[in-house]
Structure 1
């Protein structure tokens, strides 16, 4: 009874934190059972439709995407109230009307599909009516689930399309009428029903559903337990547990704030108990959770979107992203280790920890679906969508192998409902990105933005990269990861491509910095949520998160200057050399940031070590050698200093 009460208290605290920092979690919990059942059945029907088309094939593009958007919009209005303090136990009458109105947009497209196609850019009044309805409903839905940033940006871009002829300089364009804009955003696949919705209605939906079933089978508990068993006993063990568990979970669910709250409720108290301070404990969880979206194989579904946008194979994205992501986590682990050494922190006694053998025996079979997914994606030639569908089936079957993980029929039904509910914020955000991307395509704003960034950077690649980084972090503030990437890819990546940087390198660069908006003050939602659990100062936690993520801020520059880091068009020997120098550089960056290696480090040694680590960024052999010599010099000084300190203590 006591444990049940504790679990309930923890769940309530988690929900309150989610609602405070994550608007995606402010959904209704109906008091009327009939209404709750009706909404649940509707959500499950949406899930079953997506599962059906993933195996048997989708409808024609416009019909499929309109049906997906309409269903998601209707569910948004049924589940998410119009404002924070609205009654969340019953549905407002106007939300029911808006939900039905959302469904009418796809009914119209199905009913007059041939007419819409034949009119081809010459819309009639009914087209315009439903186009305006769709745009307004999408922007309002985005406001409810993501906040004001994304819909305001959408309105700003629509205004730019209408009045851009008045803009000065290279941001000006010929201007478009209301009819042209609405038609482009409504019935073309460059507007609301664009690439983002195409990916959301296929890859993203299925992989979020997969994550929901993994959660139902107890995968989160498995990651926590195996992380504790592997690293809990080591120096500063709980922080390492947080890094490992959050990285794995973040890769699957792609929701940084939700990951912080769910995993952090377990890891942050453990870190504080070990001796880490409030801000550092929260920052470890925040930086590790955000990093999950950089970590293959799933990358929070970003890998699939990037593959679609670039028109390249998914496996190419994964292979390119794997080493930078591991370097990012190595950077966090280094600082965790150095902080523990500096403060003399110990791990958790082994007798208080689960054993690897017992964890694997009880829940190790839950790794089978992940291994199956990797096999399907890389070695069978099957489509990503088909692979995801089969993996969901395998997840359900594998869960049946042990009583502790076995999913009942109710669990499966709840998985379909909760998975669909989790899709809503991402799918709405992808639809809301449509007007931004659509206006960018017809006005040429992306090229204008690229020209502006390149002009600011002048002839310097470094300055251009810095300006691109700043642009991405500003654009990514307060946005979910997927729309943050799509917007930055549309506006900032072309600047790097214009300088001759490979598209995949440019897109990974902007993706990294769009993600870091979640931990970078003044709008650092993941850090703020972590501070809510740790009791630390939110802004200090944000800056501590930035410090922990320093490798993530440097690694993108590394792979721009040395694309061999992405393991592209390089020999095994070159790849190995790049990996070794990068690993050394990242460890030294972490040590310099923390001011510790063997013993406490003087400020001047920190600066010199940091500079030596940075010299390992480029592919220049001479620079690498100089950097390594600098690092070796500092480490020798640190070794001698530590030796003297030990001698004094033993004297």
Structure 2
């Protein structure tokens, strides 16, 4: 093996380790103890499938058991420190589970289950807890924050501790942020004895809906769907200009819909696409950045979005199908613009596609893995046509996926004339491995929602109105400044938090303020717009330098500098960053009160064209290199096509006639094309410049 191959293998191994850490693989115990964590994870998955089908429990019991499983796995699976410190090796051991962690894990799980064990007593004593309630409540808060630190990092526990301290010391704060304060009894009652704190809506969504979708994604992954999606994308798009980059976008979009993890998405698809992008001529940094942008935005793509999307439905109190509808135009317009950006980059570099003889044949690839599409189509049917609840739709899709997993290996063995017994055995192993992966993958989501519940609980104690006043004062009542502050805060906080936690924190603090301050400005902001705004910037934080872990994973595979990869990925993602600002002011973009298919399609096409224009403005290229005076023209096209409601009054049109502004934007776009057309470079010139 030469040194280049060794470096590539090292980079891929680093990316895989990052993905494993995010997916819940911490310790790798040796001996019999190596089965303990997978066994608990499998039991957790079976419990979640049970409550989705035949087991009927009170929702508080479900949340408590869900959190108990998560805490049990965390303290058995993650050492106190990742590296050796203070000379105490047992604090960072990864090849065994120390006795102290067994004790901590059982204590933590029991503290989470305490609300279910003494449910009747706690209901009677709410508001006046006894010493035992305070002890177990305090243990739960401490254990939860420590578990979050081990899995997620210090950012979320630090923010939660800050809010807790603020709740107690509010009366001693400056007048602007002074708060009347709360007692220990009230704090513990809110956090650990009710469903207004740790056991709140986010944990409920994690326990009833998100787990099933994560498990569904784990089953698809174990069955080999990720490899199938990327091969299918390559067979379809690999031959076009810059084909591997376009295939990476389609493959990452399909994988990201069900994986919910940017890093896992990058490892699954980037392993194939990044080397191919480099092979056709993309620089390593740009190849990695394309994969980062595509994998990060997978959580935006309906119908299966990130975990936060299900929480949006609960917070806004709308069916999940309405969240899908609201997210559809911005998400697909964002992906269409990313396709356009890869085309721009290929045009700049004078790249071509891959030779057809190096690509997998389309129809053979399509039908070779068509069984992976069956559960996805079935899930769409359940969600959109039958309109079953998300948890029921996911449960039925899991059953279909389980049947496919059981028979997939035997069918392969039958075709290859190999042993059916060994194939069935492998199918069972794959199925249990998927159940274990589903449990492991859920740990970070469960802890993020529970720990963020502490912040939500403190806000619900009376801080909500005060926070709106503070934000109003800081933004001076200006909705534009308010949105910029919210976006920047989401990006900064999201650097250290998972997307779900970032959304919960920012939505709790700012979504009501956005709606209220919009009202002060005589501007109606739908509540779902405010929540989607926080959701989008929480996702964008995944690749925001200098901490974006997704960029580090892609850079490890591409052997590119991580910071430059993050910066390039962020430049690609600017096209996504403008969409929330647009749909806050133009609710047509989230199809709010839009129920006509032709009207929806028109809005989508114009949003895509507007996003293309913005991509050209930020990437410095349309059909030729931009000149300085063309950039304002592109921005005008973007504004007209995304905000016809703002342009129509200038043209003397009523609001109902706002779509007549679209021809003006398209005419301006055509004008830019005509003035750039004479400057379209010849392939020979591009080859010389790239050389």
Please, what TM-score do these two structures have when normalized by structure 2? 0.88
Structure 1 stretch displaced more, 294-303 or 156-165: 294-303
Distance 1:213 1:532, change over 3 A: same
Distance in 2 (alpha carbons) for counterparts of 1:228 and 1:208: 26
Residue 616 in structure 1 maps to residue 641 in structure 2:
yes
2:418 is matched with which residue? none
1:635 is matched with which residue? 673
Distance in 2 (alpha carbons) for counterparts of 1:181 and 1:27: 34
Distance in 2 (alpha carbons) for counterparts of 1:194 and 1:455: 29
2:198 is matched with which residue? 192
1:69 is matched with which residue? 67
Q: 1:583 pairs with 608, 623, 634, which one?
A: 608
Distance 1:179 1:11, change over 3 A: farther
1:81 is matched with which residue? 79
Residue 539 in structure 1 maps to residue 563 in structure 2:
yes
Q: Is contact 1:75-1:424 (8 Å) kept?
A: yes
1:599 is matched with which residue? 624
Residue 217 in structure 1 maps to residue 215 in structure 2:
no
Residue 112 in structure 1 maps to residue 118 in structure 2:
yes
Distance 1:419 1:12, change over 3 A: farther
Residue 469 in structure 1 maps to residue 487 in structure 2:
yes
Q: 2:180 pairs with 162, 174, 179, which one?
A: 174
Residue 325 in structure 1 maps to residue 331 in structure 2:
yes
1:515 is matched with which residue? 539
Distance 1:134 1:219, change over 3 A: same
2:156 is matched with which residue? 150
Q: Is contact 2:616-2:622 (8 Å) kept?
A: yes
Displacement after TM superposition at 1:23 (Å): 4.6
Structure 1 stretch displaced more, 332-341 or 548-557: 548-557
Distance 1:271 1:404, change over 3 A: farther
Residue 421 in structure 1 maps to residue 440 in structure 2:
yes
Task: Render the CA deviation track for 1:101-145: whole Å, top value 9, x for unaligned.
Answer: 023225533432211111122100000000011111100000011
Q: 2:504 pairs with 486, 505, 508, which one?
A: 486
Displacement after TM superposition at 1:630 (Å): 3.2
Structure 1 stretch displaced more, 313-322 or 378-387: 378-387
Structure 1 stretch displaced more, 468-477 or 100-109: 100-109
Q: Specify the SS of the correspondent of 1:82.
A: coil
2:86 is matched with which residue? none
Residue 495 in structure 1 maps to residue 486 in structure 2:
no
Task: Render the CA deviation track for 1:587-622: whole Å, top value 9, x for unaligned.
Answer: 111222222222222233234323432333312334
Displacement after TM superposition at 1:22 (Å): 7.6
Distance in 2 (alpha carbons) for counterparts of 1:541 and 1:449: 36
Q: Is contact 2:27-2:79 (8 Å) kept?
A: no
2:581 is matched with which residue? 557
- Unpaired runs of 5+ residues, structure 1, are none
Q: 1:164 pairs with 157, 160, 170, which one?
A: 170
Residue 59 in structure 1 maps to residue 78 in structure 2:
no
Displacement after TM superposition at 1:301 (Å): 2.8
Residue 451 in structure 1 maps to residue 451 in structure 2:
no
Displacement after TM superposition at 1:572 (Å): 4.2
Distance 1:213 1:547, change over 3 A: same
Distance in 2 (alpha carbons) for counterparts of 1:480 and 1:281: 24
2:521 is matched with which residue? none
Displacement after TM superposition at 1:459 (Å): 4.8
- Unpaired runs of 5+ residues, structure 2, are 84-91, 414-422, 519-523, 652-660
Displacement after TM superposition at 1:409 (Å): 0.8
2:316 is matched with which residue? 310
Distance in 2 (alpha carbons) for counterparts of 1:324 and 1:418: 31
1:289 is matched with which residue? 295
RMSD: 2.6
Structure 1 stretch displaced more, 57-66 or 501-510: 57-66
Q: 2:14 pairs with 13, 16, 23, which one?
A: 16
1:298 is matched with which residue? 304
Task: Render the CA deviation track for 1:319-341: whole Å, top value 9, x for unaligned.
Answer: 11111001111111111001101
Q: Specify the SS of the correspondent of 2:254.
A: helix
Structure 1 stretch displaced more, 15-24 or 329-338: 15-24
Q: Is contact 1:62-1:187 (8 Å) kept?
A: no
Distance in 2 (alpha carbons) for counterparts of 1:150 and 1:506: 22
Distance 1:152 1:576, change over 3 A: same
Distance in 1 (alpha carbons) for counterparts of 2:53 and 2:175: 50
Distance in 2 (alpha carbons) for counterparts of 1:249 and 1:519: 18
Distance 1:11 1:321, change over 3 A: farther
Q: Specify the SS of the correspondent of 2:642.
A: coil
Distance in 1 (alpha carbons) for counterparts of 2:681 and 2:386: 56
Q: Any residues of structure 2 matched to 1:286-435 within 5 Å, and which?
A: 286-399=292-405, 400=407, 403-404=411-412, 408-435=427-454
Structure 1 stretch displaced more, 267-276 or 446-455: 446-455
Distance in 1 (alpha carbons) for counterparts of 2:151 and 2:685: 60
Q: Is contact 1:465-1:496 (8 Å) kept?
A: yes
Residue 441 in structure 1 maps to residue 479 in structure 2:
no
Structure 1 stretch displaced more, 27-36 or 358-367: 27-36
Q: Is contact 2:24-2:444 (8 Å) kept?
A: no
Displacement after TM superposition at 1:404 (Å): 4.8
Please, what TM-score do these two structures have when normalized by structure 1? 0.93
Distance 1:167 1:132, change over 3 A: same
Displacement after TM superposition at 1:355 (Å): 1.3
Residue 203 in structure 1 maps to residue 209 in structure 2:
yes
Q: Specify the SS of the correspondent of 2:187.
A: helix
Structure 1 stretch displaced more, 559-568 or 320-329: 559-568
Distance 1:404 1:352, change over 3 A: farther
Distance in 2 (alpha carbons) for counterparts of 1:165 and 1:361: 67
Task: Render the CA deviation track for 1:352-378: whole Å, top value 9, x for unaligned.
Answer: 111111112210121110111111122
Task: Render the CA deviation track for 1:304-326: whole Å, top value 9, x for unaligned.
Answer: 11111111100000011111001
Aligned residues: 644
Q: Any residues of structure 2 matched to 1:15-54 within 5 Å, and which?
A: 15-19=13-17, 23-25=21-23, 27-54=25-52
Q: Specify the SS of the correspondent of 1:260.
A: helix
Displacement after TM superposition at 1:273 (Å): 1.3
Distance 1:590 1:222, change over 3 A: same
